[in-house]
Amino acid sequence: MKIEVWQGDITALAVDAIVNAANESLLGGGGVDGAIHRAAGPGLLAECERLPELRPGVRCPTGEVRATGAYALPARHVLHTVGPVWHDGQRDEPALLANCYWKSLQLAESLNLQSIAFPAISCGVYGYPLYQAAQIAVTETLAWQRSHAQPMRIVLVAFNTATAKAYQQALSAAGQVA
């Protein structure tokens, strides 16, 4: 099964799970996080607030993922993951970003989901260089598909043309038709 690239608003997708690029508090923010909370309605924030804090203000550490319902969204679940803030590439950013993709897919599998859509995690205010992030998204999702017999439809959502191009380039570099 190939990795799909789709350009548009992730909140419109009727997939089993959309992934949210959240922050460690899981209490909402700007960018795709704000869009998901607005479209889902207040039930989403209420459920996030009920998730346990591991330490003050941290419900989901960077590189990890938590599942909630999707409320008014057409998707069935929201998987909240926290991408790394880009500093200089020397602070484990690639491994943390890879974890976001891999652990989201593992959680989707454990919930018996068959389709998942990812935004470009860390590529907004967290400042991850776009092409490097696209390469990680493509590498991890392809590796996951190749190592799992159970089919999972994986959509990489690009909110703008530059992101769509980065995904297409990364897929071509990995030998996949974009």
Whole-angstrom Cα distance, residue 172 to residue 134? 11
63 or 119: CB nearest ligand ADP? 119
Regarding 123 and contact with ligand ADP (CB under 6 A), the answer is yes
SS3 category, 18: strand
Per CB under 6 A, the segment of 48-56, 64-72, 115-123, 136-144 that binds ligand ADP is: 115-123
What x/- string results for residues 32 through 51 when contact with ligand ADP is judged by CB under 6 A? xx-x----------------
Regarding 118 and contact with ligand ADP (CB under 6 A), the answer is no
Regarding 154 and contact with ligand ADP (CB under 6 A), the answer is no
Of 9, 16, 33, 88, the active-site residue reads 33
Site of tokens 């959509």 = 155
* Contact yes or no for 67/88 (Cβ under 8 A): no
84 or 151: CB nearest ligand ADP? 84
75 or 110: CB nearest ligand ADP? 75
Give one word for 2, left, alpha or beta, with left for phi > 0 and alpha for psi -120 to 50.
Answer: beta
Q: Which residues of 76-112 are buried (b: 16+ CB within 10 A; e: fewer)?
A: ebbbbbbbbebeeeeeebbebbbbbbbbbbebbeeee
Give the list of residues 6+ apart from residue 98 with CB closer than 8 angstroms, or none: 136, 139, 140
Regarding 81 and contact with ligand ADP (CB under 6 A), the answer is no
Is 88 designated active site? no
Which residues are near ligand ADP by CB under 6 A?
Answer: 9-11, 21, 31-33, 35, 83, 119-126, 157, 159-160, 163
| Catalytic machinery residues | 33
